């Protein structure tokens, strides 16, 4: 209240006091506070500044003269303070410090703050401890709700792919196995000892190899693919020659060649087939007409067979004394001799009586009459064939069905080594050339 108002109030008061005759000695105090309070009260303003007004401020700080709306614009906080900022956190603590919210408790497994629910070993969350672990069991590893299983071998895990199996005796994890004979045991040392493989490689199979070398399990077709030769050997190579003898193979006898004469356009008489051939050629590659392969100058001693064995030891004479094909690059004989096949009286003349090897001149005369100077002309003129030759390095036969080689009695002497001449034919030509005497060539005999 300002000074002016105080004076306005006090001045009348003094008048009243004087009029009432209230006096005191100069040294006495006069207590006018009751009167002053009464005067001030009768002149006080409300919260809106209205003299003697009725407006008041409620707990929310709102000033009006309507008590019906007191405290409607705010609330008490958890401490009872109107419009206060204190809050109760999830743990039930009430204060206005948000930094420490929920620091006095935790959430349980169901998310309830300061709750009593717990998670059992089966993963079930509730606050009832009497039903703990009733929804699952422990596996073989003692893991609650685990998936590990104990297999028949006593192994505990949750991998079904490594579970053990029964062996052939029904033992889980056992080591017994069935061998190829169908025997089941755990002793690998006796595997397949109770049976053998048949010719098809089948253990304890029934297939057998017949006399023709055919392997199957059909007994009804045995020996259908071959016949016995003249020695009684199924599929054998021995045959009856033109002299009605069983020759070749293991007979120890070498075929005489049936002598049938043919006269060519030169007027000369030749044998109609190669030495050792079973017939005159039906075609240029008729294998039955190929005959034997002789080393130049050797006897009809068996070395000429296409199947004869070999030796690398050269002969020192014109009669080696065996039937082996001698492997030597240039000549099977050391020292050389050029007189072994000369004419009818040649030391080792392999031709039948009255026949001998032709000379180079006689071959050249025949070539001149052929329709073509090649293997086709040779077949047309003399029924010569492409029987190949036997090599002196390994004794193998080469160029069968492609080339023909025929020895002559002619030789080519030199200061270093002597060669012999032979007719060579193929599809591209025919000529008489020089060759080492250890090669195995065909022979076509001419009548002397």
DSSP string, 251-313: SS--PPPP--EEE-TTS-EEESS-TT-SS--SSTT-GGG----EETT--SSSTTSTT--EE--
Burial class (CB in 10 A: 0-12, 13-18, 19+), 195: middle
The answer to whether residue 32 scores a pLDDT higher than 70 is no
Structure tokens at 296: 């130049």
The answer to whether residue 243 scores a pLDDT higher than 80 is no
For residue 126, the cross-strand partners are 118
Q: What is the DSSP letter of 104?
A: S
CB atoms within 10 A of CB 96: 12
Give the CB-side neighbour count of residue 316, counting CA atoms within 13 A.
Answer: 0
Best CA proximity match to 205, nearest among 190, 215, 214, 213: 215
Residues 6+ apart with CB under 8 A from 257: 241, 242, 271, 273, 274, 275, 276, 277, 291, 352
The answer to whether residue 1 scores a pLDDT higher than 80 is no
CA distance 110 to 315: 111
Mean pLDDT calculated for residue range 310-327: 94
**Greater model confidence, 404 or 21:** 404
Confidence of residue 329 (pLDDT cuts 50, 70, 90): confident
Confidence of residue 248 (pLDDT cuts 50, 70, 90): low
Cα 210 from chain centroid?
39
Confidence of residue 66 (pLDDT cuts 50, 70, 90): very high
Confidence of residue 258 (pLDDT cuts 50, 70, 90): confident
The answer to whether residue 23 scores a pLDDT higher than 80 is no
Listed in sequence order, the DSSP H helices in 368-424 are 375-382
For residue 270, the cross-strand partners are 262, 446
Return the pLDDT at 396. Answer: 97
Between the ranges 62-76, 182-196, 317-331, 377-391, where is the mean pLDDT highest?
377-391
Mean pLDDT calculated for residue range 206-227: 91
Mean pLDDT calculated for residue range 170-193: 92
Domain ranges, ordered by start, for the chain: 275-448
> 336-371: per-residue pLDDT in tens?
999 999 999 898 999 998 999 999 999 999 999 999
The answer to whether residue 26 scores a pLDDT higher than 50 is no
């Amino acid at each position: 209240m300002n000074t002016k108002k105080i004076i306005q109030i006090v001045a009348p008061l003094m008048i009243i006091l004087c009029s009432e005759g209230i006096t005191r000695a100069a040294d006495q105090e006069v207590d006018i506070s009751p009167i002053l309070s009464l005067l001030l009260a009768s002149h006080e303003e409300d919260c809106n500044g209205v003299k003697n007004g009725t407006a008041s401020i409620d707990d929310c700080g709102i000033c009006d003269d309507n008590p019906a709306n007191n405290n409607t614009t705010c609330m008490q906080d958890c401490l009872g303070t109107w419009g206060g900022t204190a809050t109760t956190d999830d743990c039930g603590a009430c204060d206005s410090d948000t930094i420490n919210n929920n620091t006095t408790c935790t959430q349980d497994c169901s998310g309830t703050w300061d709750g009593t629910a717990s998670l059992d070993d089966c993963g079930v969350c509730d606050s009832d401890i009497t039903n703990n672990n009733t929804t699952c069991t422990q596996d073989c590893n003692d893991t609650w709700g685990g998936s590990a299983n104990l297999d028949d071998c006593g192994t505990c895990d949750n991998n079904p792919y490594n579970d053990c199996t029964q062996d052939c005796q029904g033992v889980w994890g056992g080591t017994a196995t069935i061998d190829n004979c169908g025997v089941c045991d755990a002793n690998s040392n006796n595997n397949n000892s109770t049976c053998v493989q048949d010719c098809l490689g089948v253990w304890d199979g029934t297939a057998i190899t017949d006399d023709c070398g055919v392997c199957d399990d059909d007994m009804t077709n045995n020996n259908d693919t071959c016949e016995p030769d003249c020695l009684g050997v199924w599929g054998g190579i021995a045959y009856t020659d033109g002299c009605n003898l069983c020759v070749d193979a293991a007979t120890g006898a070498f075929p005489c060649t049936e002598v049938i004469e043919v006269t060519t356009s030169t007027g000369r008489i030749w044998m109609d087939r190669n030495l050792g051939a079973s017939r005159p050629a039906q075609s240029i590659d008729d294998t039955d007409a190929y005959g034997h392969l002789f080393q130049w100058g050797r006897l009809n001693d068996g070395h000429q067979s296409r199947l004869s064995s070999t030796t690398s030891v050269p002969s020192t004479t014109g009669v080696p004394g065996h039937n082996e094909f001698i492997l030597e690059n240039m000549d099977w004989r050391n020292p050389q001799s050029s007189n072994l096949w000369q004419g009818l009286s040649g030391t080792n003349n392999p031709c039948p009586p009255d026949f001998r090897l032709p000379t180079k001149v006689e071959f050249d005369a025949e070539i001149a009459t052929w329709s073509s100077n090649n293997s086709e002309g040779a077949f047309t003129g003399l029924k010569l064939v492409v029987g190949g030759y036997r090599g002196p390095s390994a004794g193998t036969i080469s160029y069968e069905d492609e080339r023909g080689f025929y020895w002559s009695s002619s030789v080519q002497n030199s200061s270093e080594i002597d060669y012999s001449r032979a007719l060579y034919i193929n599809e591209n030509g025919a000529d008489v050339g020089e060759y080492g005497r250890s090669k195995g060539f065909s022979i076509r005999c001419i009548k002397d």
